Amino acid sequence: MGAILTIQGLTRFFGGLAAVMDLSFQVQSGEILSLIGPNGAGKTTVFNLITGTLLPTQGKVLLKDHEITGLRPYKTTALGVARTFQTTSLFYDETVIDNLIVSYRCRTRMGFWDALIHTSRSRKDERRCRQKAEETLEFIGLMERASELARNIPQESQKRLALGLALVTEPKLLLLDEPMGGLAEEENIGMMAIIQKVRASGITVLLIEHKMKIVMNISDRIIVLNYGQKIAEGLPQEVGRNSAVIEAYLGAGYGEN
Amino acid sequence: MNQMVRKWLILTILAIAVIIPLVVTNKYYMNILIMSGIWSIVALSLNLILGYTGQVNLAHGAFFGIGAYASALMMLKLNMNFWLVLPLAAAIAGFFGFLIGLPALRTRGSYFAIGTLCFNIIVTLIVDRWEGLTEGARGLMGIPGPSPIPLPWGAEITFKTMAAQYYLVLCFLLLTIFVLRRIIQSLVGRTFRAIRGNEELAEAVGIQPMRTKILSFTVSCFFAGIGGVLYASYIGFLSPEITDYHVSFDSLIYVMIGGVGTIVGPIIGTLLIVTIPETLHIAAEFRLLLYGLILIVMIIYLPRGIVGWLKSLKERKRKQEVSWEQS
């Protein structure tokens, strides 16, 4: 298997504040790795540094053996790293299926002249996009909402669609930023099932999530961040017993009495 | 059924557009129609970058003017044929769009609007001051009309009558609609709309924002240039005012009133705004006042323009029907 993603000494300052400090870890191919930590620990910043939304002050990001540090987001997506955003990001004025169709654009090659002359390549690409969009709809279970506007569907469906937009780009590595934020208890289970299905289809998942019960359940491994630094890494049960983690979450002295 | 109604509606409008010169012989009205056609092309082209790609371009008058001046200069000073000049001048306007887009499209929102507005003012100043090339404020006079198109057996199509000019503009209006529709409905057009919807997300799903925006802007400026060429050869006279930001704001108003991000919207907006003040004989000074008023009312009550409003009515009706079926 081996590592699909390697982070080496990643550091990012905002002014004098270190949002991420000398962070190193590896994501193993095929696993679900969770990134947890208190608010402001730098989890989302790590995602932004991996995808190129932010440039690191120092450090490297490697996809397999290929350095992708600081590449623009559209390039990292083309190389197979897709992400979702913490605030559910969708093309709200488009229908559900159109959201997915345009997100598959990065895997098609037709250009302006193809569109103008209506070449066979353009027709083929449009058909491929629709087909891929429908497959993804099926996968995320939104088939019956295909022609509704993204802004009009329920929040839980929007969360699924946001995941679908990342998935349709055919990633090898999927970065999920709180895919269950704001969902009700029973809705979590559906989302968890989708994430497990994603992994089963051969896609590696790096997950940020606050709901500990889910994290403990779904993750193969967990990395804990606090103030931009890694304070623990390991299997769920190991991390759950780690005193540094308990201290970060609950404050010093909690375990003693 | 709906598809059929649509098809017949389009065919009817097309038939009316073709018959009009046979019925309307009044030169004054023909002039208004020809000008509406030219401005429709400009408004449609603006809508590609403004409505579909979400970038508020306030330099459309400059690109219109560049097309007009480029064609006039090529015809007057180099004696070139109109049919060669037309694509060349439009390409020059498109090329300027590409060049200006490279820095300007790196900015977003109001910064892009202000940047393009500044560019427009610079272009007008250059046209006004570079007298050796553009004759400055005196303007370029005696711009020839379209060259005749030779037909076999010695016949030819000339553009001396109003009706012929009208058909020429109508052809280019239809060509513009055809091309823009092709682009908008393709995957390429979908990426434009993705940029309008959410640029950050668009980039995250692998769309290259700069390249997409520059493509949209270049095509938009190309068609503004075509509008400029048609204007120059129809009116036969150009002065620096035709490049200035009034033209940009006029076309912006046509698009806003007709419906941003729709295909028929800009044409409806242009027809209304060009024909109503003319037929009501409202003096030019009051026209600006009227524009301002209409714009304020539109933005408050119909932010998506006339066509957008009609669409939302239809949407509401559809929803009601759905909830009826469900209850």
How is chain B split into domains, by residue range? Answer: 26-326
Beta bridge partners of A253: none
Contact criterion met (CB < 8 Å) for B187 and A83: no
Q: Among B218, B215, B241, B213, which Cα is nearest to B61's?
A: B241
Q: What is the mean pLDDT of residues A207-225?
A: 92
Q: Among A20, A29, A80, which Cα is nearest to A49's?
A: A20
Q: Range with the lowest mean pLDDT among A60-74, A112-126, B266-280?
A: B266-280
Residue-wise pLDDT for A133-190, tens only, equals 999 999 999 999 999 999 999 999 999 999 999 999 999 999 999 999 889 988 999 9
The answer to the question of residue A256 being in a domain is no
At B322 the pLDDT is 67
Q: DSSP state, A131?
A: H
Residue written as token pair 């016949």: B155
Q: Among B141, B156, B157, which Cα is nearest to B237's?
A: B141
Contact criterion met (CB < 8 Å) for B206 and A85: no
At A239 the pLDDT is 87
Q: What is the mean pLDDT of residues A228-242?
A: 89
User: Which of B106, B175, B184, B190 to mutate to probe the A interface, most A CBs <10 Å?
Assistant: B190
What is each CA distance from B99 to B103, B107, B119, in whole angstroms? 8, 14, 11
Closest CA–CA distance from residue B181 to any residue of chain A (Å) = 9
Pairing of strands A58-63, A66-67: antiparallel
**Parent domain of A244:** 3-250
Contact criterion met (CB < 8 Å) for B203 and A73: yes
Name residue A80's amino acid.
G
The answer to the question of residue A57 being in a domain is yes
Q: Using an 8 Å Cβ cutoff, are B246 and B61 in contact?
A: yes
Contact criterion met (CB < 8 Å) for A102 and B203: no
Q: Among B249, B247, B260, B252, which Cα is nearest to B306's?
A: B260
Domain count for chain A: 1
Closest CA–CA distance from residue B216 to any residue of chain A (Å) = 10
The answer to the question of residue A50 being in a domain is yes
Residues in chain B with CB shorter than 8 Å from the CB of A103 are: 205-206
Stretches in chain B below the pLDDT threshold 50: none
Residue-wise pLDDT for A78-102, tens only, equals 999 999 999 999 999 999 999 999 9
Q: Which residues fall within 8 angstroms of residue B126, CB to CB, at 6 or more apart?
A: none
Q: Among B200, B195, B190, which Cα is nearest to A84's?
A: B200
What dihedral angle (degrees, nearest 10) is formed by the CA atoms of A132, A136, A141, A142? -60
At A254 the pLDDT is 55
Beta bridge partners of A5: A27, A63
Of A77, A85, A102, Cβ closest to residue B191: A102
If 0-12 CB within 10 Å is exposed, 13-18 middle and 19+ buried, where does residue B319 land?
A: exposed
ipTM: 0.91
| Tokens representing residue B22 in the block | 């046979």
Enter the pTM of the model.
0.92
- Whole-number CA gyration radius for chain A: 19
Beta bridge partners of A17: A14
Contact criterion met (CB < 8 Å) for A105 and B190: yes
Between helix B305-326 and helix B245-258 the angle, nearest 10°, is 20
Beta bridge partners of A95: A149
Q: Give chain A's count of helices (H) and strands (E).
A: 10, 10
Q: What is the CATH number of the domain that holds A51?
A: 3.40.50.300
CATH class of B26-326: mainly alpha
* H/E element, A173: strand A173-177
Separation of alpha carbons B263 and B315, rounded Å: 18
pLDDT above 80: residue A256: no
Q: DSSP state, B78?
A: S
Contact criterion met (CB < 8 Å) for B187 and A126: yes
DSSP letter for each residue of B99-165: HHHHHHTTS-HHHHHHHHHHHHHHHHHHHHH-HHHH-GGG-EE----PPPEE-GGG-EE---SHHHH
At B326 the pLDDT is 61
CA closest to A118 among chain B residues: B182
* H/E element, A3: strand A3-14
At A257 the pLDDT is 43
Separation of alpha carbons A77 and B49, rounded Å: 25
At B151 the pLDDT is 80
Phi-psi region of B57 (alpha: psi -120 to 50; beta: other; left: phi over 0): beta
* H/E element, A12: strand A3-14
What dihedral angle (degrees, nearest 10) is formed by the CA atoms of A177, A179, A181, A185? -150
Pairing of strands A173-177, A81-83: parallel
Phi-psi region of B188 (alpha: psi -120 to 50; beta: other; left: phi over 0): alpha
Q: Using an 8 Å Cβ cutoff, are B236 and B94 in contact?
A: no
